[in-house]
Homo-oligomer: A and B are copies of this chain.
Amino acid sequence: MTEDALPPLTGPVEVVGAGLIGTSIALVCRRLGLDVVLRDTSAKHIRTATGLGAGRAATAADRPQLVVVAVPPAEIAGAVVDALSRTDAVVTDVGSVKAAPLAAVADRVRASDLARYVGSHPMAGSERSGPLAASAALFDGRPWAVTPHAGADPRAVGLVESLVLECGAAPLLMDPAEHDRAVARISHLPHLAAVLVAGRLAAAPAEHLALSGQGVRDVTRVAASDPALWQQILESNADAVLDLLGEVRADLDALMSAVAAGSGPGAGTDLVDILARGNAGTAAIPGKHGGPARPTRSVFVSVPDHPGELARLFGDAGEIGVNIEDVHIDHDPGRPVGLTELVVEKGRAEHLLAALESRGWTTHR
């Protein structure tokens, strides 16, 4: 369906689960002037979300146009079935796995009701949870998978796409099983690799850990997430996850053979091949907002640890006219000078370096 032919979102919108994602969607809908009604097993969440202006508590008399189910993974199917039974609305959910909840719903409702259900998955979140972490800007520019089943009503699919667009996100139509294979690859596998590496640090000698650099911090960061939530996610996508883990197990065996073979005559090439495939994989990830990744370069600048020095650096970079794509600060409160890494478009790096130096900054080429 083309964008201008999509059914308009007119409300009321019912949000089931007033956590981070649900309350954020409610805030977007309220900003559009729609009637938003909230359901949550936690009366505190409802009070908080209504206090934030995210809508009002639902009543039995409400007749929603769209129900958005935003509850923990293990509760999604039940909440979708309940919404399909209670209302004649289009129903979507925002869970991170799609095929298993769909199958559970299909087992429990008539095909005519199932036609009103269209799963979806916004690729947005936060390390924080609950309605206080919500924001109408949460989905801005993010991919948002919309995963209709074969029997879905095209107008129901269109209404979910309308919601995604109103949230400022980019809808990606995908088959539910294909979506699950995709997140197994780009979310669940990276998560589990981080868990395995971090697991080898848990009982490591302190003198090993003392040598930790930025690499191990980046690789393991996501392993700090909530185990109970991730257990639910992994179990509801067990087949796709196990397929990929099996592939990685074969890759690991090949890697161990390559390392063991060493670089004698005829050996060693395999290890370079494996490492080069890693290069290709990092290059395959698209740019942050779906466009092609642009080559960047890091410019390092020493910044005195005084309030206002970072502001002066960004002010100078702004005047120089170079867009800063990302920033990392290697900052130790006890030290007089920190190292700041400015990530800029590759072709602009030399200009920025020269211009910062002419303004008296100490850069590290």
User: Taking A278-B223, A283-B224, A318-B311 as contacts, is the C-beta distance between A185 and B204 under 8 angstroms?
Assistant: yes
Is A201 part of the contact surface with B, judged by Cβ < 8 Å?
yes
Name the CB-closest residue of B to A125: B213
Number of copies: 2
Query: Contacts A140-B339, A278-B195 known; A216 to B324 CB distance under 8 Å?
Result: no
Q: How distant is the Cα of A123 from the Cα of B31 in the complex, in angstroms?
A: 50
Contact of A222 among B218, B249, B259, B302 (CB under 8 A): B218
Residues 272-299 of A at the B interface (beta carbon under 8 Å): 272, 274-286, 288-291, 298
Interface segment out of the listed A83-91, A148-156, A250-258: A250-258
Interface positions of A from 152 to 203, Cβ below 8 Å from B: 172, 174, 178-179, 181-183, 185-187, 189-202
Binding site for B on A (CB under 8 A): 123, 126-128, 132-135, 137-138, 140-141, 143, 145, 172, 174, 178-179, 181-183, 185-187, 189-202, 204-205, 207-213, 215-225, 227-228, 230-231, 234-235, 238, 241-242, 244-249, 251-253, 255-256, 259-260, 262-263, 268, 271-272, 274-286, 288-291, 298, 300, 302, 307-315, 317-319, 321, 323-335, 337, 339, 362, 364-365
